[in-house]
Structure formats: C-alpha cells, structure tokens
Amino acid sequence: MRIGYLCATALFTAAAFAQNPPAQQTKPETEIKETTGNASLPVKKVVLYKNGVGYFEHSGRVHGNQELGIEFTTAQLNDVLKSLTVVDLNGGKISGVRYNSVAPLSERLKSLQIPLSEEVTSAAFLIALRGTRVEVRNGTASALGKVFSVETVKRESSKGGTLEVTQLAIVTDAGELRLFELGPGVTVRAADGEIREDVSRYLNLMGSTRSKDVRRMTISATGSGDRNLFVSYISEVPVWKSTYRIVLPKAPGTPFLQGWAIIDNTVGEDWKDVQLSMVSGSPQSFIQNISQPYYTRRPVVPMPQSMMLTPQAHEASMEEETVTGSGSGGGIGSGQGSGQGLGSGQGGGTGGGSYIRGIAGGVPGGVAGGSMGGVIGGLVGGIATGDRTVNTESADVETMETEVTEALGNETAAAVGSNTGDLFEYNLKEKITVMKNQSALVPIVQSPIEAEKVTLVTAQENGEVVGRPLRALWLRNTSGLTLDGGTFNILDQDSFAGEGIMEILHPGERRLLSYAADTALRVTSKEGDESKTAKRVIIMKGVMTVTREERSERVYTLHNADTTPRQMILEHPIREHWKLAGDLKPEDTGATYYRFRVSVEPGKTEKMDVKESRPVFTSIQISTITDSYLKLLVEEKTIKPELEAKLREIIGKRQQIFDAEQEMRARQLEMEAIDKDQARLRENMKALKGSPEEKALLQRYMKQLDGQEDRLAELKKENVNLQGKRVKLQVELEGMVQAISANEML
C-alpha cells in the first residue's frame, strides 16, 4: 500500500492524545474535603523550559483548617524552596509550610557513641572500640577485656619472607595484656549492649542512604468555609525536545511543516487535565542544596582562666594622715534585658488569571493529536513495517493523495505561539493528561512552509570541496512562530527522504537544512591566477604609501549526472579583508559564507568563477629608500619617471651624507690610533735612564710626539669641517623630502 494511502487511512483514526468522554467534560473542579490527614493538591498548569526546569501551578478547594501535601525528590525540593508561592484566595491564610528534613550523614553519624565515619575498615572499627569491653574467641580459646590497641605487625612466613598481620591487644579484668592475630577464625563481640545497638544504628544509617528519595511538603491553610488555594513553584524536570516533519508534495503544491514536542513527566505526580506550555529559551537558573540542613564552623574560644592572687604586703605611705568620722558604702547593680520580635507577612497576586481559570474550571480532557497524529503514525508505521504493496488502481491512489493534500492544508495547530520577552512560548489549546513516569508527543506546529529543494556544496576556507554534495531544503519560516531547535524528517513523494538537525528558526528567517547526499552531482575546484597590481601611490610628509590590489580566483566545475535538473547552492567561504570582484553576485550571504546559485541541467557541466580582491598597503620613509627598492618600484611600474628622478636625487643626497660620515669615521679612527701610540711612547720615555744612547732615543720620541700633535690638530679641524658639511647635507635632504608630494593613480 502506498504511503499516501497510509496517510489518508491514519488521518481518520483515533487522535494521538485521548480526550475525556463528553460526560466527563463537565466534571467540577477538584475539591479537597477536610480530613484528619493530608490531602493532595492537583497540578493545573505546567510550563516546561529548555534549561531543565519547569513551572508548576496547583490549585484546588480547601475547607476550614486544611493540610495539603505535595511529594518531591530532594533535587526537586531544592528548586521548590527557592520559588514557592502559596496564596489563599478567599480570606484564609497560610499558617505554615513544612517538609521532612534530613540531616547530612556526617552529622547523623556524630550521634553515635563510637566514632565511625562513612568509609570504615575492620581495623578502623576495632580502633573505634578502644576502651570498650569485648569478647574475643579464637577456636576454643576466649578472653574478655577492654580493647587496648590495634596495630599492624610483620611476621616471618614459612617460606622465609615477611607478611603483615593485624594484631588486637586487650586488657583483661585481671590486668593481663592479651594479643590476638586477627584472621578468619577470630571473632570479636562487643560485650556492652549499648555498643551493639550503636553498631546496628550505624549500619541502619548507612543503609538509609540507598532508600527511596521522597520529600513530602505539607501546606497548612487556616480559615473557615470553602476557599480556593493557589500554589506555584519551579522544579527540576527533563528538557523538552522538538521534532519536525516536512512533507513535500508530489504534484506542484505547498510544502507542509508539522512540529511535535516530546515531554516527560518524571515529577512523581500525574498531570491530569493540565494546561501545558513549552517555552523555547533558557532563563537563568541554578542549583542550590538548601533543603539540607547546613552546619557551619564556629571558632573555638578557650575558657577564661581566673588570675591566681598571692597575698602581698604593701609599703606604708610617707605622709601622715589623720582620719576622723565614720562612713559606710554599698552598691547594688542589676540588669535586665528582653527582646521580642514579631513579624507577619501576607502576599497575593495573580498572573494573567491563569490559576483562576484553573479554579473556575475549563474544558477537561487531553489534547487531541488530531488526524495529523494519525498521519505521522501511519507514515512511521508504513516505513517501519515495510508495507509497500502496490495498488494497481492508480485512480484510487491519486484520489487518496489528493485527499491527503487537502487534509494537510486543513490541519490547524494544537498549540498557540506567543512571544514572552526574549523567549517564545507554545501554549496548548486544550488540556492534556500525562501520567507520572510517562512521556508524550504534543503537536505544536501545523503550517504550510516556504521551502525549495536544492543541492548544497560547501567549500572549505582554502576553496577546496571535500565530501559529497548534500540534498537540502532552503526553507523560510513562514509559520509566524519561532521554531525551536530539534530534529527534522523529510517526506518526499510519499517516501522517507532523510533527516537532520535544525537550530532555532525565528519568523521570516531563511535557513538551509541538509538531509541526504546527492550522488548525481560532481563538484571540483581549482585555483585561478593571482596578481598584484599597483593602484595608487601617495607621498605625504616624507612617507610613501603604495596601495596594491591582491586578486584571487577560484574556479568551480559542476557536473549533473542525473536525468533531472539541479538547483545548486555553492557556499564559498568569506575571508577577512577580501571582497568579491567582478559581476558575480551571491544570492544570499551568511556569517561565514557567500551562497551562489547555479542551475545545472541533466547531463550538463557548468563552471563558476569566484573572483575576490583585497587591498595591500606598503609604507616607507622616502628618506630611507635604497637603490634596490627604487629599482623594484620602477620594474613594477609603480612610480612615474618624474617621481623616480626626485627619489634618485634623494638617494644621491643620502649617499653624500654617507660619504661625509665615512670620512669623519676614518679621521676618528686615525686620532684614536695616534692616542694609543702616544701613550706607548710616553711609557717608553719613563724607562730611559740618561745614557747617551737613551738621550738620542728620547729626542727621537719627542720629535715623533711633536709630529703626532700636529696631525691631531689637523684631523680635528677636518672633522669639524666634515660635521658642518654633514649637517648642511642633512638639512638639504630634509628639505627635498618635505618638498615631494604625490597622489597618483596607476
């Protein structure tokens, strides 16, 4: 049987969510009668968020003084305590809210007589019994006494090695020290009944950590007569998920989008006839373990020590005193303080009347999945079972497909979407029932959608194409709703075509959704020619800036081996500082890709050249231009002959300055050499003693020193002249540099 026939058959089957019978739709609001025990408060509204929390509203009737209970896990109770709101709507008051408190295990262990921790060994257990009476048996031998010590000792084994054994020491009533090596045949029994009870309490406490985690909150309402009670809070819940089906018609027509939300009820309480909403967004929320008692460290302050007074003898006064008369004195001091604090508060509020509607009543019953639930059930069932029996009556098949298309167009969403600040909320039109520890699919979107079937090719940053092209839908969200992120499934011509993942899609937003490989399209790419062409030369304030345009080309070749045409969308990477060149324009531009459209006919090959360019700036101080760099500028035809001549004059002037500096350097080196030689001669002259030969040598040294002094004076004069020449040349160079300005297009 064709999938289309399955769709039509499922279209008229039972809805995905069973509604209550009409006779139950007038059922009055749940009323809680006054009882001696706790009554329950049913859930009326649930709002699920994407951050793992849900907002819950309970409402019901109370009579007189009433206690109502709600059960949570510890994790849920932590969230409830942060957000609980309780309001008696008809003049009563909330006299108290309580819940069973559980102290941390470490604190409960402190109540034991024996100091045992959460992690304990047999040796640590015996150490904790130190000072208590125990009975030790080893075979037929036994002893009664108090535990003295437990230690590990080394013994020689029969094979000559050493082994460690645990040794228990007890002191008997007679004062004897008895030692026992603990082993399988040794038993130790506490002789004190209270100690045995303490051990049993310890084991019970350790076992309680694996008991069922149930925390019951009791709300006490005080008042007279019948009243309405409202309770709200947030609680930890599983994240709700979105999943979509996109149906592509066989004949020309409008694609159809169907969206479902998957919800899970794990709060331990049935959701009967609740108003359910799903919010696409994640408000900030956090976990804080405030349901568990906390103990803080307090400083240890030592007891005050009284000063021990020693009798002392004091010396007499040096002045004489005469004292007459009598006197008496007394003092009474009293202090009294009292403190009293009284606080009361009452608050109430309404939020859009949502809980009032829950109290006053509404249309009971679960959300109807509608015929679309049957459509998807038939589709999935047909695909899963592989039922592909061909109906030979093509007219019946065409009629059935037409009915399915009309039914899709007539479907309406079971949820109403609305913006809530930065979030988007799906509100179910009818109430829903989901029992505890069950999950359900809830329809949230039923809408025609704008979608075009294309083939997507994505190039990497270097322009190469890796992997096969993908079949995709270029979809625009025309539903008017914000589509939450989730999985999607494509049904094309009554058959499963593929699936994928969709991120959140806002109204009017366009998105490519890939779902399968396109094996008929072949795409290759190669790099084209690149060139650097000088565009502009600017000289200002002694700085020459050359702007070049660097060009890049990528040639894509596309071949369609199929018998049907392809609308190909090529994604070319956007590179920083590069821009498109030429007449080629993208159909769409994303954050990281240009998207170009190419039509490829059956059996044909198309080419597309993507040309890009970017500016390259080079700056240089023209006073530092060298012959080689000027030669490069001339060869690249970056500068005109007039500018070349001016730059050569600057290079010539810089050469003159360089020559003057070299001459100054040479003279400086000669003066330094003369200074060193004069120092040598003076040292030699100090060693001469006055003999005829030495006197002759001394005269020669003196003559040589005189000649060197004359040369030094001459060199210093020349250096001064060269310095003046260099300064003059530098001024001329700076003037030439400042006189050159240019702004030339090449």
142: which strand partners?
A: 137
- Which is more confident, 680 or 203? 680
Q: Mind listing the pLDDT tens digit for each residue in 388-429?
A: 333 434 445 455 445 545 554 555 556 666 665 557 888 888
| Nearest in space to 448 (alpha carbons), one of 393, 410, 474 | 410
Task: Retrieve residue 144's tokens.
Answer: 């009664």
Cα separation, 180 vs 138, whole angstroms? 8
Q: Is the pLDDT of residue 345 over 80?
A: no
Q: Is the pLDDT of residue 654 over 60?
A: yes
Q: Which residues contact 208 (CB under 8 A, 6 or more apart)?
A: none
Q: Mind listing the pLDDT tens digit for each residue in 555-570?
A: 999 999 999 999 999 9
- Stretch(es) of the chain classified as CATH 1.10.287: 641-745
Q: How confident is the model at residue 717 (pLDDT cuts 50, 70, 90)?
A: very high
CA angle 382, 383, 386 (to 5 degrees): 80
CA angle 381, 496, 445 (to 5 degrees): 80
Q: Is the pLDDT of residue 371 over 50?
A: no
131: DSSP letter: T
Cα separation, 318 vs 673, whole angstroms? 96
pLDDT at 283: 75
pLDDT at 6: 33
Cα separation, 401 vs 249, whole angstroms? 9
Q: What is the mean pLDDT of residues 254-265?
A: 91
pLDDT at 668: 92
554: which strand partners?
A: 527, 610
Most confidently predicted of 72-81, 270-279, 365-374: 270-279
* Spatial contact of 84 and 78, defined as CB atoms under 8 Å apart: no
Q: Helix (H, G, I), strand (E, B), or coil: what is residue 125? A: helix
Strand 39-40, strand 66-72: pairing: parallel
Cα separation, 451 vs 510, whole angstroms? 9
| Nearest in space to 572 (alpha carbons), one of 553, 588, 595 | 595
* Spatial contact of 144 and 171, defined as CB atoms under 8 Å apart: no
* Spatial contact of 654 and 661, defined as CB atoms under 8 Å apart: no
Q: Is the pLDDT of residue 243 over 90?
A: yes
Q: Is the pLDDT of residue 548 over 90?
A: no
* Spatial contact of 366 and 430, defined as CB atoms under 8 Å apart: yes
Cα separation, 603 vs 519, whole angstroms? 13
Exposure on the CB side of residue 435, measured as CA atoms within 13 A: 1
| Nearest in space to 80 (alpha carbons), one of 106, 60, 99 | 99
Q: pLDDT > 90: what percent of the chain?
A: 23
Q: Beta-carbon neighbour count of residue 89 at 10 Å?
A: 15
Residue type, 251: A
Cα separation, 545 vs 537, whole angstroms? 6
pLDDT at 563: 92
Cα separation, 560 vs 568, whole angstroms? 10
Q: Which residues contact 281 (CB under 8 A, 6 or more apart)?
A: 49, 50, 420, 422, 423, 424
Cα separation, 224 vs 303, whole angstroms? 55
Cα separation, 525 vs 607, whole angstroms? 9
Q: How confident is the model at residue 258 (pLDDT cuts 50, 70, 90)?
A: very high
Q: Beta-carbon neighbour count of residue 537 at 10 Å?
A: 19
DSSP 449-475: -EEEEEEEEEB-TTS-B-S--EEEEEE
Phi, psi of 459 (to 5 degrees): -90, 150
pLDDT at 35: 39
Q: How confident is the model at residue 147 (pLDDT cuts 50, 70, 90)?
A: confident
- Which is more confident, 601 or 388? 601
Cα separation, 723 vs 718, whole angstroms? 9
Task: Specify the length of the chain in residues.
Answer: 746
| Nearest in space to 453 (alpha carbons), one of 409, 503, 516 | 516
pLDDT at 39: 58
Q: What is the mean pLDDT of residues 569-597?
A: 91
Cα separation, 666 vs 660, whole angstroms? 10
pLDDT at 687: 82
Tell me the CATH number of domain 121-196, given options 2.60.220.10, 3.30.1330.10, 2.30.30.720, 1.20.1090.10.
2.30.30.720
* Spatial contact of 531 and 506, defined as CB atoms under 8 Å apart: no
Q: Mind listing the pLDDT tens digit for each residue in 480-533?
A: 888 888 999 999 888 899 999 999 888 999 999 999 999 999 999 888 776 667
- Which is more confident, 665 or 318? 665
pLDDT at 398: 52
Q: What is the mean pLDDT of residues 434-452?
A: 90
* Domain topology for 641-745: Helix Hairpins (1.10.287)
Strand 496-502, strand 486-492: pairing: antiparallel
Q: Helix (H, G, I), strand (E, B), or coil: what is residue 34? A: coil
- Which is more confident, 343 or 320? 320
Q: Is the pLDDT of residue 340 over 70?
A: no
Q: Helix (H, G, I), strand (E, B), or coil: what is residue 589? A: strand
* Spatial contact of 52 and 237, defined as CB atoms under 8 Å apart: yes
Cα separation, 163 vs 183, whole angstroms? 13
Phi, psi of 205 (to 5 degrees): -65, -40
Q: Is the pLDDT of residue 727 over 90?
A: yes
Q: What is the mean pLDDT of residues 666-693?
A: 87
Q: Is the pLDDT of residue 465 over 90?
A: no
φ/ψ region of 414 (left if φ > 0, alpha if ψ in -120 to 50, else beta) reads alpha
Q: What is the mean pLDDT of residues 307-326?
A: 48
pLDDT at 228: 87
Q: Is the pLDDT of residue 541 over 60?
A: yes
Q: Mind listing the pLDDT tens digit for each residue in 193-236?
A: 777 777 777 776 666 555 556 677 788 888 888 888 889 988 88
Exposure on the CB side of residue 487, measured as CA atoms within 13 A: 8
pLDDT at 556: 93
- Stretch(es) of the chain classified as CATH 2.30.30.720: 121-196
Cα separation, 58 vs 231, whole angstroms? 5
